[in-house]
Chain A
Amino acid sequence: MPAKKMREREPELLAPGHRACPGCGTAVAVRLILKATGKDVILVSPTGCLETFASRYMESPWEVPWMHPLFENAAAVASGIEAALRFKGSQTKVVVIGGDGGTYDIGMGGLSGMFERGQDILYICYDNEAYMNTGVQRSAATPLMASTTTSPHGRKSWGEDRPKKDMPAIAAAHGVPYVATASLAYPQDLMNKVRKALSIKGSKYLQIDCPCNIGWGFPENKTIEIARLAFQAGLVPLFEMENGVLTQVRTIKDRKPVEEYLKAQARFRHLFQKEGGAEQIAKIQALADSNARRYGLDG
């Protein structure tokens, strides 16, 4: 879309002065989400980076109604809000923007309940692949071999020993009408997916890959580039699933080997420095190859 049209159409609903780290991927994601939702929305966020950088008392950047309840109950609170809006006959949308910790782990039960009830809520997970707010501890979204403070690499460890939990598949298994993944590297695609999700009635899940320069270990100006590399390596497949069926996949022209992506981040650097690292990198390559087969990424 031409730039001039963009500036007229999309209001800025996240004010500056928030406390996100310089170069924060999540802050970019939230701005884009709000450009797609517009003003007629109620947001809920669980405890996490977003909540912390965006809710100091009397210094809120939110220009829409926003609530932070607790860590594990954003989906359940959103369920109550949606029910209240239904009672009032209101068309206002309800959107949860929660981190991977609050989504994959502690928030799973409430999220599953929300999906199962089919409530008209869009749940967006900003995935920075660890509990970043509390100091980069491992979550179920932490990818294989990433070094975090609770899954550090060491003399007897290669870092995280479990692959990333497949949250989009879990969401789809609930029979929800729309599941999608998005990346900061493709902002128009991200905004389109938010708009499309909001046009569908029922529970929707959107997962956004949000690189974190502090937690992943890369220079703060490279956030979008890292997101781009993750996609190009096949580690962050971008797709849409409607009623459980894969309906749209962003293909990769000349998929890159995972090394370029891994090498650019301190959390994977041990794989290049320790003896036997190449075998471990091969396991990550195998995951990328499996994604490519499963989603038909190679175009």
Chain B
Amino acid sequence: MKLTIGAICGPAGSKANRTGSWRSYRPILDPEVCTDCGICAIFCPDSCVFPEGENYRIDYTYCKGCGICAEECPSGAIEMIVEEK
């Protein structure tokens, strides 16, 4: 890979960095309990929660397992479980 001048680089190259490997806990969303409020998607620091159909899914490639989504979910639809490998 040849260097670009001035250390200038293109957009969204961070997608190559799979921060999901940082996790110790993973969030599991229960679609039955989810009320589609969207708060988890608003507060995720890593842009990992996406609308899907009637509720939301989590992108485990990048999710760092911080647990903000579970903490802020008003209906308790997200549970943090220990990441097993």
Contact = CB atoms under 8 A, between A and B. Distances in A.
Query: Do A and B touch directly, given a CB cutoff of 8 Å in the complex?
Result: yes
Q: Is the interface of B mostly helix, strand, loop or mixed?
A: loop
Given A3-B51, A15-B14, A221-B70, A24 B43 contact: no
B12 A15 contact: yes
Contact of A57 (B9, B11, B68): B9
Contacts, number: 115
Interface string A172-190: 0000000000001001000
A281 interface: no
A31 interface: yes
B85 interface: no
A22 B71 CA distance: 14
A221 B43 contact: no
Contacts of A22: 22, 45, 64-66
Interface stretch (A60-68, A139-147, A240-248): A60-68
Nearest to A184: B43
A20 B67 CA distance: 14
Given A3-B37, A17-B18, A60-B9, A31 B47 contact: yes
Given A3-B38, A57-B9, A60-B9, A16 B68 contact: no
A220 interface: yes
Interface residues of B, number: 38
Interface string A192-235: 00000000000000000000000000011111110000000000
A194 to B, nearest CB: 14
Nearest to A7: B51
B43 A59 contact: no
B66 A23 contact: yes
Given A57-B9, A58-B13, A62-B11, A16 B66 contact: no
Interface of B: 1, 7, 9-19, 22, 36-38, 41-48, 51, 59, 61-62, 64-68, 70-72, 80
Instruction: Give the top 6 A-B pairs by smallest Cβ distance, nearest first.
Output: A221-B67, A3-B38, A17-B14, A27-B45, A16-B62, A23-B66
